[in-house]
Amino acid sequence: MKRLIAAILGVANIANGLMMLVAGPLWYQSVPGATETSPFNPHFVQDIGAAFLVSGLVLAIRAWRPVYWPAAVAGAGFLAVHGLIHLVAIVSGHDHHTAFDVVAVVLPSAIALYSAFPTRGEHHA
């Protein structure tokens, strides 16, 4: 089950990262709250897109090659820290899109971290 979850989240994060890298302005306009944070910065969006792309790739690799779970933990670590940043914003009252952030950022990051760790009997390469 963890491998299936890792695959699904991997594909979603690969798609998000590619969208940020290839169509940053469209991504920026599409994500609730992004335009409220600052003016569009293409370099910044591409940097973060690269992080999402790599996180997605290592989660997807974990799905097909479970022995590489340590790499998936590192990729999921980025997502978890990103989720914590959003959670702090929610708890402190500085988030104006709470439902979206919980569903699209916080929960998937926690699930990604869960899916990255090995099940009993899995070993690393």
Q: Give the chain as a 3 state SS string.
A: CHHHHHHHHHHHHHHHHHHHHHCHHHHHHHCCCHHHHCCCCHHHHHHHHHHHHHHHHHHHHHHHCHHHHHHHHHHHHHHHHHHHHHHHHHHCCCCCCHHHHHHHHHHHHHHHHHHHCCCCCCCCC
User: Percentage of the chain with pLDDT > 70?
Assistant: 98
Band of pLDDT at residue 119, cut at 50, 70 and 90? confident
How many of the other CB atoms lie within 10 Å of CB of 21? 17
* CA atoms of 125 and 10, how far apart (whole Å): 20
Q: Round the average pLDDT of the chain to a whole number and report it.
A: 94
Q: Mean pLDDT throughout 72-88?
A: 97
Answer whether 92's CB lies under 8 Å from 60's CB: no
| pTM for this prediction | 0.91
- Model confidence over 99-114: pLDDT tens digits? 999 999 999 999 999 9
Q: Domain ranges in the chain?
A: 2-116
Inform me whether the pLDDT recorded for 61 exceeds 90. Answer: yes
Please report the pLDDT score of residue 125 as a whole number: 58
Between CA 99 and CA 105, with CA 104 as vertex, the angle to 5 degrees is 100
